[in-house]
A and B are shown apart, each in its own frame.
Chain A
Amino acid sequence: MTAAVAFLVLLAALAAWWLYGQRLMSRPWLAAGIVEDTGGLAHMPAAKVGLGVFLAVVGALFSLFLSAYTMRMQLADWSALPVPRILWVTTLLILLASAALVWAVRSARRGEKERALDGLLAATGFGSAFLGGQLIAWDELAGSGYRLADNAANSFFYVLTGLHGAHILGGLVALVAVTVKLWRSPDAAAAQLPVELCALYWHFLALVWLVLFAVITGWAGDFLAVCRQLLS
């Protein structure tokens, strides 16, 4: 459960940092009167905070899956599957989608509606291509005889990529909705927040994918082994 606990420690540190600014040591009975709220979140839109909390939940979900993965991996019958080449392409695609969204956010902030639309469309395109690539990877593996129930490594591969793909699919739906909204609205400013939310969600999923990819290829394990050697 190391991955899950590590993720929660990270969240706890963030929470502690925020609580630190909330005057938890103050004696609330002493001061009657108006106290303006302090703390960094006060002026953020609720939707953004909400998305942040949601991403924490998604992060917990994937970190728990990774914990299960690492625990299951240590058992005797584990046999890692070959990494389909196409995953390199899809990794590039998801990063391109992220980059396109960075572009879209910038343009939306500047009020450049057309450019923002371009960014969103590109991201939708790259995102769909990513999903298609993942499906091709599934097809390839299944074709070469790596079926779901043959080995736990296969099972984890399909379940993890499937779960990630489902989140990507949700992101794509949101992207299309925001694209339509921006396209219909007279100026880019109105859609600025939704575009930012899409970008945040997408960057997070891209990060999750990078971690998953590193774990599936075995680099994460190698990296940790090297770290351990350096420490000992």
Chain B
Amino acid sequence: MADVPLDRVAETAATEVEDLTLHHPHSWLTRYVFSQDAKTISIQYTVTALAIGFIALFLSWLMRLQLGFPGTFAFIDAAAYYQLITMHGMMMIVYVLTAVLLGGFGNYLIPLMVGARDMVFPYANMLSYWFYLLAVVILLASFFAPGGPTGAGWTLYPPQAILSGTPGQESGIILMLVSLIVFIAGFTMGGLNYVVTVLQGRTRGMTLMRMPLTVWGIFTASVMALLAFPALFVASVMMLFDKIFGTSFFMPSLIELGTPLDYGGGSPILFQHLFWFFGHPEVYIVALPAFGIVSDLIATHARRNIFGYRMMVWAILAIGALSFVVWAHHMYVSGMNPWFGFFFATTTLIIAVPTAIKVYNWILTLWRGDIHLTVPMLFALGFIVTFVNGGLSGLFLGNVVVDVPLSDTMFVVAHFHMVMGIAPVLVIFGAIYHWYPKVTGRMMNEALGKLHFWITFLGTYAIFFPMHYLGLLGVPRRYHEMGEASFFPASAQMLNAYITVLALVVGAAQLLFLFNLIWSIRHGREAGGNPWRATSLEWQTPETPPPHGNWGREQPTVYRWAYDYNVPGVAQDFIPQNMPPEAVPLGPRPAPGGMS
């Protein structure tokens, strides 16, 4: 690990001096534990989030067992089932997807891709991780608290979230809200870094329009998260007051299982507005980084420039802005003023246009490319299929009157698992296979990777596509068992059992990934600095894995955009962003085949 020695500050160029005031680790503890290096923080975030992801996956197994074979497993009663779905949902959405895509990938990729030495506020960045870990610990503590974790559903709707008909109302709900508040505080410290590093930390020549789309996606998502998470913060604080101090922000006068309570006058709908003011942007906070990353995976592995780069950037910005004015499409049947339906259905369907443009541009990038079906590319293709499927079913739910019969049914569950569950997870896998060689210097095993891809992609599609039809049939979500119902045929219960079996298989297949991840650290093939022959800056570091400070003596200078693949008249099929125009080897394009 060659740190930039501080005694070289004097002889470096003026533009570098500021960056050399990095925090240099002096001990094992500050290097690997309380590290202020964005790359270490990234690994800490990713590993923690993956661990939570496996716990949440395990919870989903248990609830699938109950749904597939109701009554067979005595320990999964209604209360336990609600605790399982609540914790599965909240963990996956906030503590896994948000944490990996922003805290994990953001930390690793932003500084490297914009040519910075580190994040601009490394100390706050370190605190961000430790706050996140604290939030995770508080969340997990609720499993051991009296009454267990909250079973209010991940939406935590009052009044039921804090009343005795709901499991975990003793302490689980309090721990959940406190954990969210800590998470938000921690995220704010990290998010400031992601945003300001893109604003101020870009190296010479890295204009905004030369940034890879990954950076655009993570940057926009971070801005959105900074502005959307306060809504969850406000809602959580107010609900804590309602629960602990007996205020009536959200609580109307009501009878709790026969006993009148002291609450009065509050509005449950107010909570829903605040929650979804966070909750809808959250969908795009997860999606936009995935959009960005998948754009770069496709361009790199199809050896072709991303098609319509400008449109892609504008679409990201448009989606980011629009996503703040669609929140009430989660509330069409909530009893809010029905006239809002016209506005929110319109804004929601308008968002489909920039999103569709992104999909077209991905597949047009494949067109007339040189497609290498590497593991990252497979995951990118899987993402497109899954995302298109989930996005299109979103057009059902966003269109106010179509939502009426479908809302709160399994159709919704299938939709959001496709679009913001499986789709971003496929991107996360693809991204890990793609950037693993940069992080460790070794490749992940390709055969295992392909096996992992096929089971995960086909398996999840076969799980969630038929699930839509349970919703069409009328099966409500959040039922621990359907029981007897005239419209619920025996075949539908068989479908449930089939989904459960498949979910167990696909879940178990994730161990392949885990094994590959750990095994390849020591036994993977040596990767070299740029195994995918990619153009963006993170592949051009002088050393791999990049040491503290990333760039050795001199920060790179950027001469071009991130997508110069197969440029006519150039003798290699990619031009790194930091290659000066005079160094570009001219000549006929090489015959393809350098890499399989």
Contact = CB atoms under 8 A, between A and B. Distances in A.
Check A-B contact in the complex, CB < 8 A. Answer: yes
Interface centre among A29, A65, A76, A156, by most chain B C-beta atoms within 10 angstroms, is A29
A34 B227 contact: no
B234 A65 contact: yes
A14 to B, nearest CB: 12
Interface stretch (A67-75, A81-89, A176-184, A189-197): A67-75
Contacts, number: 150
A4 to B, nearest CB: 7
Given A152-B248, A159-B241, A71 B207 contact: no
B321 interface: yes
Q: Place the interface of chain B in its size category.
A: 35 or more
A76 B252 CA distance: 11
A23 B273 contact: no
B160 interface: no
A22 interface: yes
A12 interface: yes
Contacts of B249: 68, 72, 152, 155-156
Given A46-B200, A155-B248, A61 B233 contact: yes
A77 B277 contact: no
Contacts of A64: 230-231, 234, 274, 277
Contacts of B208: 19, 22-24
Interface string A3-27: 0110010011001000100111111
B564 A50 contact: no
A68 B238 contact: yes
Interface stretch (A52-60, A97-105, A112-120): A52-60
B230 A57 contact: yes
B227 A26 contact: no
Contacts of A78: 265
Contact of A159 (B120, B238, B273): B238
A60 B227 contact: yes
A143 interface: no
Contacts of A50: 120-121, 192, 196
A145 interface: no
Nearest to A148: B245
A57 B270 contact: no
How would you classify the secondary structure of chain B's contact residues: helix, strand, loop or mixed?
helix
A156 to B, nearest CB: 8
Nearest to A22: B208
A71 B230 CA distance: 17
B454 interface: no
A75 B237 CA distance: 20
A27 B249 CA distance: 51
A186 interface: no
B548 interface: no
Contacts of A49: 196, 199-200
Interface in B254-304: 262, 264-267, 270, 273-274, 277
A42 to B, nearest CB: 8
B563 interface: yes
Contact of A61 (B210, B230, B561): B230
Contacts of A44: 200
B266 A72 contact: yes
Contacts of A163: 237
Contact of A41 (B200, B233, B241, B309): B200
B31 interface: no
A61 B234 contact: yes
Contact of A149 (B205, B246, B274): B246
A60 B265 CA distance: 26
A51 to B, nearest CB: 9
B182 interface: no
Contacts of A148: 241, 245, 247
A25 B313 CA distance: 10
B557 interface: yes
A54 B222 CA distance: 12
Contact of B277 (A4, A28, A155): A4
A29 B563 contact: yes
B207 A28 contact: yes
Contacts of A77: 248, 264-265
Contact of A28 (B209, B237, B245, B246): B209
A35 interface: yes
B196 A46 contact: yes
B192 A60 contact: no
Given A35-B207, A54-B188, A155-B248, A24 B233 contact: no
Contacts of B192: 50, 53-54, 57
A22 B209 contact: yes
Interface of B: 120-121, 188, 191-192, 195-196, 199-202, 204-210, 223, 226-227, 230-231, 233-234, 237-238, 241, 245-249, 262, 264-267, 270, 273-274, 277, 305, 309-310, 313-314, 317, 321, 324-325, 557, 559-561, 563-564, 581
- The 10 closest A-B CB pairs, nearest first, are A77-B265, A28-B561, A155-B247, A61-B230, A28-B209, A46-B120, A149-B246, A46-B200, A32-B560, A60-B230
Interface of A: 1, 4-5, 8, 11-12, 15, 19, 22-29, 32-38, 41-42, 44, 46-47, 49-50, 53-54, 56-57, 60-61, 64-65, 67-68, 71-72, 75-78, 148-149, 152, 155-156, 159, 163
26 contacts: A1-B273, A29-B305, A29-B309, A29-B564, A33-B581, A34-B205, A35-B210, A37-B206, A46-B121, A46-B201, A49-B200, A50-B121, A61-B230, A64-B231, A64-B234, A68-B234, A72-B249, A75-B267, A148-B241, A148-B245, A152-B265, A152-B266, A155-B241, A155-B248, A159-B237, A159-B241
Given A24-B208, A29-B564, A152-B248, 12 more contacts: A19-B317, A22-B209, A28-B207, A33-B560, A46-B201, A56-B226, A57-B227, A60-B231, A68-B238, A72-B267, A77-B248, A77-B264
